[in-house]
Amino acid sequence: MPAADNTLTRYVESWSPEPLVHEGVLDAAAVAALSAVLDLAEPVAVDGEPLPPLWHWLYLLRWPAQRDLGPDGHPRAGHFLPPVPDRQRMIAGGRCDIREPLTVGEPARRVSSLKAVIPKSGATGDLLFVTVRNEYSQRGTLRLIEEQDVVYRSGRSNRSYPAVLDYDCVPGSEEPWQRALRPDAAMLFRFSALTANAHRIHYDHPYATGDEGYPGVVVHGPLIAIAMLELARCNAPRRLVNSVSYRLRHPAFAGEHLLASGVPASDGAALRLASVREGRHATADVTFA
């Protein structure tokens, strides 16, 4: 179906939000908190040290007033939220160009702008792919450029999920880099708090299963992406990551045994996250400086 026939197009024909600027300090407390959530022995960085790739998601967060949240926990309105009725949101993936790592403990400036709005139609209905570009600077130097692709639909998806999840079987891999992960509801709740994400699918089991039709609470896409990138940080600690491209393909649920695995190369690595029912919940490509 051509994009012009997409039923959501008319809602965004005149939608053109201006860029936004946010500033704040990248305090070490957030790094220590996420390190604890990931069960790491110590904080991955302290003041004056480089922030690991994708950990910038802990900073410059937006906390809307409680009255401004919708019944799903998402904000009813927002600067880069398209004016689509009964709006549903899912992060599809993104890209990061890391010219120089951000430094923990220093002020940072983020300029956010709308890059693209692309209507698409598929088996699950009409969709809008919205790409937001974020530019992070410290000490007057542009250090990180991120583009994040978010998918929006009007109303619920007709996608089906397994009625019963396997909480016992553990996925395997022959890839040299491996890291096991089994997120539970408490981990997802803590990650939601760290990233100002009040979406109820990540902590409210009755809502996730009854209202949204999932078999359990949903693991955050950003948590999956960070788990994959931990492979590069732990297995190639002296290599600086120059770029990251990730794609979130299929949701994972609390209680499932997950395995992040990767294949290194001379200039980077190919990463993925799997369960026993799905070989690629997410994938990522990393290049080293």
Q: What pLDDT score does 1 carry?
A: 36
Structure tokens at 247: 């794609």
Record the tokens describing residue 119, joined without a space: 């209507």
> Which residues, in sequence order, are CB contacts of 127 under 8 Å at separation 6+?
6, 8, 119, 120, 121, 151, 152, 153
Long-range contacts: 188-191, Cβ < 8 Å, 24+? 188/217, 188/218, 188/219, 188/220, 188/223, 188/254, 190/33, 190/37, 191/34, 191/37, 191/220, 191/222, 191/223
Q: Which CATH superfamily is domain 160-289 in?
A: Hotdog Thioesterase (3.10.129.10)
Q: CATH 3.10.129.10 spans which residues of the chain?
A: 1-157, 160-289
pLDDT of residue 159: 72
Output the pLDDT for position 192.
97
Instruction: Give the per-residue pLDDT at 222.
Output: 97
| pLDDT tens per residue, range 184-219 | 999 999 999 999 999 999 999 999 999 888 999 999
Q: What is the pLDDT of residue 6?
A: 84
State the pLDDT at residue 60: 97
**Model confidence pLDDT, tens digit, residues 20-66:** 999 999 999 999 999 999 999 999 999 999 999 999 999 999 999 99
CATH topology of domain 1-157: Thiol Ester Dehydrase; Chain A (3.10.129)
* pTM for this prediction: 0.93
3-state secondary structure of 158: coil
List average pLDDT for each run of 10 residues in the chain, which is 289 residues long.
Answer: 68 92 98 97 97 97 94 91 88 96 98 94 83 97 97 80 90 96 96 96 94 94 97 95 97 97 97 97 97
Question: What type of residue is 72?
Answer: D
pLDDT at 126: 87
The reported pLDDT for the residue numbered 133 is 98
Element (H, E) at 178: strand 177-181
Least Cα distance to 81 among 154, 22, 135 occurs for 154
Alpha-carbon distance 164 to 171, whole Å? 17
Residue 180 CA to residue 276 CA, distance in Å, equals: 12
